[in-house]
Amino acid sequence: MKRIMISLKSSVVVVVMLMGLFALSALSNEAQALPLAPGTAATAFIAGDNITGSAVGVLTPNSTVAPYLQSLLGQTLSGNVRAAVYDQGGGVLDFLYQVQNTGNVFVLRETDLSFLGIGLASNVNPAAVSAFFRTDFGAVGGPFVDGTVAPVSADRLVAGATVGFNFAAPGIGGTSSEILVVRVTANQVFTGNSAIIDGFSANAQTFSPINLQTVIPEPATLLLLGSGLAGLAGWRKWQAKKA
């Protein structure tokens, strides 16, 4: 009888220890998330920022395959941004994005807005959102497909509205990115905007945790687009003189 009691006690201890390890593992994943406070410069992802295999959450009715298209000087940005919102419970939402590039240029950057005034309560800095990526499109389901290109870093502009994901050169060409994740404390979903960038940009209508009244491209995008248009104008003048 004593042996049975000891065996039962040992089993309980083992179960409690395993539960503790699982809890620590979950906390570790959250702690290693890339926290993006407003004004955070491009910061490299580390192994813990790949949350493949972690809880997906519940897919909300917010899911889309949003096309994008923009051409400049014979170069074309085209494809889809696959996006969806998953409810993690406790007032936490995951905004998921995936770039599916079909154009003739490589994509080096993807940005999402608006996250103005949004953070994640569990972060050390509650004004910071958490950025991750995941590769388990099969478990995630929704509109997502098999991706091959993972982001190398993420950033957030000074105002905090725009969260950006960056890819190593040459970028995403004729394929899809892995699934990009922005985790926030929020309880509403509105229409948002995603920008696909490589020297110039194309926009796609996705999702945002705040009500986005107007689409506001990030300043760097405006500068690049302006430079491209100026170059196009100069090229046309040169062609006219040549004729």
Q: pLDDT for 9-52, tens place per residue?
A: 444 333 333 333 333 333 334 445 799 999 999 999 998 899 99
23 and 126 inside one domain: no
27 and 89 inside one domain: no
What pLDDT is stored for residue 7 in this prediction? 46
122 and 177 inside one domain: yes
21 and 104 inside one domain: no
119 and 63 inside one domain: yes
From the CA atom positions of the chain, what is the Rg in Å?
Answer: 22
129 and 109 inside one domain: yes
Contact 65, 87 (CB under 8 A): no
173 and 209 inside one domain: yes
217 and 110 inside one domain: yes
In the chain, how many domains are there? 2
93 and 164 inside one domain: yes
pLDDT tens digits along 192-215: 999 999 989 999 999 999 997 644
Q: What range does the domain containing 238 cover?
A: 34-242
Exposed e or buried b for every residue in 59-90, given b needs 16+ CB within 10 A? beebbbbbebebebeeeebbbbbbbbbbbbee
**Helices and strands in the chain, H and E counts:** 3, 12
- Pairwise CA distance, residues 212 & 185, whole Å: 17
53 and 82 inside one domain: yes
173 and 59 inside one domain: yes
